Structure 1
Amino acid sequence: MQIHAWCTESTCFLAEKDGEIMGYGVLNYHFFGCGFIEMLMVGERYRRSGTGLNLLNALISKCQHPKLFTTTNQSNFAMQRLLLNSGFIKSGQIENLDEDDSEIVYFIPIPQ
């Protein structure tokens, strides 16, 4: 249901190869009016192939606000590495969304 809404709102961007969806990312401006990557998902067989990095870079380039944020769980080490390697910096932490798994906030400035 949520994916359908993102597609309807034109906030969902796909990574495709030969007509097959490899992953998708969602960019909106619901986080205090700033750019926010709400979701970045790469199909299991396309992970560690550059698909996530390409999607992330595409979302960064599409961001229309000078500040872009995203979050990931403390347990999601692969996403944390991807964000840090892409220039994002840790910008805080949110407790109590998932039990015993803090949500880490990341930020990157967007040149205007």
Structure 2
Amino acid sequence: MSETAPEPAEDKNRTRGIKMLDSLFDPAAARAAAEGTDVSNVVRSHLRVYGKQLPGDAVTADPWDVINFVTQQLLDGRVGPETDLAGAHSYADGLLRALGVRSTKPSQK
């Protein structure tokens, strides 16, 4: 897992309690430990991304936010051998075109 940026000084690092099934938590804790981190860091990382995502009914997006989101997914290891990269490319290309961003390299279809 990538290094996490320090929290801003004005943020309070509070203990939060959440309910979740052992069947959800235990595999996540095992993977986090194997990657040299813990579930708290994983949750913070995912909440940072989730908080930056646009709501489902949003009609616009900053193309750089899209690019940064995709880059973060890659850096956090959420892309693996089973990922449909061609499908992801096609979807991202369509999204960026809808936002008025043109690719510098034509799509291969």
TM-score, normalised by the number of residues in structure 2: 0.30
Q: TM-score, normalised by structure 1?
A: 0.29
